């Protein structure tokens, strides 16, 4: 009986190592589904039309994210959780031409892909993650 247990230990160790290699981490950085350039039009929330609109571009390159909004650049890194429902994105802001108050903070958001469209809702840097794709907090981007 002792020989049986001694002979099964290597099999158990190999099994534990193989099972242990399967990651339980649900986040990924640089996920390929968002890589590339996405463009859209952002309409400013206003109470008296006409509201201003801005061209906005999101460029995902590896772990880096660059956003150009109304001619101003915001750059940083991002991570995704593709298992969450809805999927989540965390955008760590390194530089922000709108002002340094957002630099070093994370804008948390949610996203979903619909064909070649990306619907994205980002909260304010340092704030909370949106829980829905409400009309006033989301944008539809098209893959270029």
For the domain made up of 27-143, the CATH class stated in words is: mainly beta
- What tokens were used for 31? 């996920």
**Could you tell me the residue ranges of all domains in the chain?**
27-143
Distances (CA, A) of 135 to 42, 61, 86, 114, 142: 11, 27, 16, 16, 17
Q: Give the model confidence (pLDDT) of 58-95 as tens digits.
A: 999 999 999 999 889 999 999 999 999 999 999 999 99
At 17 the three-state DSSP class reads: helix
Q: Give the model confidence (pLDDT) of 94-122 as tens digits.
A: 999 988 999 999 999 999 999 889 999 99
pTM reported for the whole predicted model: 0.73
- Whole-number pLDDT of residue 27: 45
């Amino acid at each position: 009986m002792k020989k049986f247990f001694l002979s099964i230990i290597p099999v158990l160790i190999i099994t534990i190592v193989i099972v242990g290699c399967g990651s339980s981490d649900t986040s990924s950085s640089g996920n390929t589904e968002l890589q590339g350039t996405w463009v859209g039009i952002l309409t400013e929330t206003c109470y008296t039309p006409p509201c201003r609109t801005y061209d906005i571009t999101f460029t995902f390159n590896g772990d880096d994210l660059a956003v150009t909004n109304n001619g101003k650049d915001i750059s940083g890194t991002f991570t995704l959780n593709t298992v969450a429902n809805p999927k989540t994105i965390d955008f760590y802001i390194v530089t922000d031409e709108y002002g340094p108050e957002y630099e070093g903070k994370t804008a948390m958001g949610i996203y979903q892909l619909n064909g070649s469209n990306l619907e994205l809702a980002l909260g304010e840097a340092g704030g909370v993650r949106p829980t829905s794709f409400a009309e006033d907090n989301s944008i539809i981007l098209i893959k270029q």
